[in-house]
Chain A
Amino acid sequence: MLTRLWPIAVITFKEGVRNRALYGIGAIAVFLLLGTQLVCSMIPRDVGKVAVDLALSSTSFAGLLIVLFIGINLMAKDLDRRTIYMVLARPISRGQYILGKFCGMGLIIGAAMTLLGGAATVSVLLTRVLYPNYFDKFTLSTLFLAILFQVLSLLLLTALSFLYSALSSTSFISLLLTVITYLIGQVTTDIKALVETADKVGIQVSAAMTFLVKAVYYLFPNLSLFDIKLQAAHGLPVPLTYVAMVSGYWFLFTALALVAAVLIFERREFP
């Protein structure tokens, strides 16, 4: 199984990292991280929180761009340009193709986030040197955990984008569905909480709407679970049980998305 996955993962990684879009995304991230220094020099207080928040937001944004403009493209281009004929003519199954692509994209995300996370860490540490009074609660471990959670969130989004690519015939639809999933994933907890406590704040919500919101909540991944920028910025501890719960949630959702993608892809034809 692995001997068949590895070549697909390697060529996916090579094709992805040589894409010029990746360098553009890297440049945006560097620009944002430099901007962090500029913003910190302009504000009079809470410099530590702002520095951590901005650094993590930059890595998160750049990571999202990588999934949307490189990840989806890598798979969609195979289908649009019929490169898939060349790949599936080898002795590999459709499932191995999907999993190999996912591993390759995982390598790209891992490499990119290592560089971006490294730059974010340097940016935060530099700010700490310049403004040491504002970093009394800051811990590097929480910053690293926040970056690791971002990596998990991007991998989950990638798995879902593969599912959408397996379902749809054009890369635009995959892109659109992935963006919608990302947006829903960010706000789904807040909207569910609002609907459930609507009476207390004097808002009337129909039963149908409550059902719809709950359905969306359980159908789409809750990406806000992976966002611990607040804890990292304020130096709040992240319980081990929370880390375990989020890791389990990530594994379950990613595995489900990949299994569904494989099952759909197995049935698909390439005329």
Chain B
Amino acid sequence: MIRIDGVSKSFLEGVRRQRVQALSELSLAIGEGEVFGFLGPNGAGKSTTIKLLLNLIRPDCGTATIAGGDVADPAVRRRIGFLPENPYFYDHLSADELLWFGGKTCGMTPSAIDARSELLLHRVDLLAARGRSLRTYSKGMLQRAGLALALIHDPDVVILDEPMSGLDPVGRRLVVDLILELKSQGKTVFFSSHILSDIERICDRVGIIAGGRLRLCGALSELLTEAGSLESVFLDVVRKADGGEVC
């Protein structure tokens, strides 16, 4: 469903415009109906990978496709739902208007938008606040509104960048349940997170990225059988990456 082939990406940074390599020859394939956890320390390249999948940035080389279509094609995004890390929306819009926007851009009819909004706002516990402007929302409420926006058009692929960031335990539980629900519906979920316990609970496979390179990728059950816990796998991979070893 998601396929990344030999993608590299670098940025020019600072006054002296030095080239910084963000991703190096990244290749990854995620199958239909799979829940894939993308792990890595800060600055490892997780968000860069996600931005490449949404065509917010473009690779220096390599290709990225979703459901067989090049990610540069806007039509491909009809099949993607995306929640950015720390989502910012329009201050003066309400959750209802935000979902109307999301549905309309995907070509949904007004009645379909209404029905789906009702369902999702109930699911993310925002029904009571649906008419309030988003600037009055707490961080957790914004995150939940973002989730509803990501799912309004019933996408086949859901990409979530740190979806648990800033959520209280109740909010985290809600997101975990939602991802499990998506999994039961056969949706493909690609998400990055720092919270290893949540990844252990919901993922089929994980990929660990460090220094812009994919260091490890495999079925979670196999990794846990070999190493005991995801934390020890993660720390071991990152330590080796820091030492310059390639896994």
The interface of chain A, by Cβ under 8 A from chain B, is 3-4, 6-8, 10-11, 14-15, 18-19, 81-83, 85-86, 88-93, 96, 269-271
Contact = CB atoms under 8 A, between A and B. Distances in A.
B43 interface: no
B170 interface: no
Contacts of A10: 101, 104
A166 to B, nearest CB: 15
B97 interface: yes
Nearest to A93: B74
Nearest to A74: B90
A89 B101 CA distance: 12
A271 B80 CA distance: 19
Contacts of A4: 105
B234 interface: no
Contacts of B82: 85-86, 89
A96 B54 CA distance: 16
Interface residues of B, number: 34
6 contacts: A8-B105, A10-B104, A83-B88, A86-B88, A88-B56, A89-B77
Contact of A7 (B58, B88, B89, B104): B104
Given A7-B101, A15-B93, A91 B106 contact: yes
A89 B77 CA distance: 7
B107 A3 contact: yes
Interface in B91-107: 91-93, 97, 100-102, 104-107
Interface in B171-218: none
B69 to A, nearest CB: 11
A269 B56 contact: yes
A18 B92 contact: yes
Given A14-B92, A271-B48, A271-B57, A86 B104 contact: no
A270 B90 contact: no
Contacts, number: 83
Contact of B11 (A6, A85, A93, A271): A271
Given A14-B92, A86-B149, 13 more contacts: A11-B97, A18-B133, A81-B88, A88-B56, A89-B54, A89-B80, A89-B84, A91-B74, A91-B78, A92-B77, A271-B48, A271-B51, A271-B57
A91 B77 contact: yes
A91 B90 contact: no
Interface string B31-61: 0000000000000000010010011111000
A85 B84 contact: yes
**Those 9 A-B pairs whose CB atoms lie nearest each other, nearest first:** A18-B92, A7-B104, A90-B105, A89-B82, A91-B78, A91-B77, A270-B56, A81-B88, A85-B84
A81 to B, nearest CB: 4
Interface of B: 11, 48, 51, 54-58, 74-78, 80, 82, 84, 87-93, 97, 100-102, 104-107, 133, 146, 149
A144 B175 CA distance: 56
B148 to A, nearest CB: 12
Contacts of A85: 51, 54, 56, 82, 84, 87
B100 A7 contact: yes
Nearest to A96: B74
A15 B74 contact: no
A90 B88 contact: no
Contact of B77 (A19, A82, A90): A90
A19 B82 CA distance: 27
Contacts of B84: 82, 85-86, 89
Nearest to B103: A7
A101 B184 CA distance: 38
B67 to A, nearest CB: 12
Name the residue in A19, A89, A270 with the highest tally of chain B Cβ atoms < 10 Å from its Cβ.
Answer: A89
A11 B94 CA distance: 10
Given A86-B84, A86-B149, A15 B90 contact: yes
Contact of B89 (A6, A83, A271): A83
Contact of B92 (A19, A89, A96): A19
B77 A15 contact: no
A10 B102 CA distance: 12
Interface centre among B80, B88, B149 (most CB of A within 10 A): B88
A88 B55 CA distance: 8
B171 to A, nearest CB: 19
Contact of A91 (B57, B92, B105, B133): B105
A57 B48 CA distance: 49
Contact of A90 (B11, B51, B58, B102): B102
